Amino acid sequence: MLYLIGLGLSDVSDITVRGLDTVRKCKRVYLEAYTSILMAADQESLEKYYGREVILADRELVEGGSDDILAGAQTDDIAFLVVGDPLGATTHTDLILRARELNIPYNIIHNASVMNAVGACGLQLYNFGQTVSLVFFTDSWKPESFYDKVLENRQLGLHTLLLLDIKVKEQSIENMARGRLIYEPPRYMSIATAAQQMLEIEESRKEGAYGPETPCIGVSRLGAPTQAFRADTLEQLAEYDAGEPLHSLIILGNRVHDLETDFIAAFAPDQERLRKAIKDDAQNFKKPEPPIVNMYDD
Q: Is 159 annotated as a binding residue?
A: no
Are the CB atoms for 82 and 7 separated by under 8 Å?
A: yes
Determine whether 233 is exposed, middle or buried from the number of CB atoms within 10 Å of its CB (0-12, 13-18, 19+).
buried
Q: Is 190 annotated as a binding residue?
A: no
Q: Is 247 annotated as a binding residue?
A: yes
Question: Does residue 161 have a known ligand-binding role?
Answer: no
54 annotated among ligand-binding-site residues: no
Q: Is the peptide bond before 125 cis (omega within 30 degrees of 0)?
A: no
Q: Which of 31, 36, 41, 38 is nearest to 62 (CA)?
A: 31
Distance of CA 145 to the CA centre of its chain: 16
Cβ of 27: how many Cβ atoms within 10 Å?
Answer: 12
Say if residue 114 carries a ligand binding annotation: yes
CB 219 within 8 A of CB 123: no
168 φ, ψ to 5°? Answer: -125, 130
- 23 labelled binding-site residue: no
Q: Is 164 annotated as a binding residue?
A: yes
3-state secondary structure of 155: helix
CA 119 to chain centre: 14
User: Which residue numbers belong to the known binding site?
Assistant: 9, 85, 88, 113-114, 164, 222, 247
- Which residue ranges are tagged as binding site for S-adenosyl-L-methionine? 9, 85, 88, 113-114, 164, 222, 247
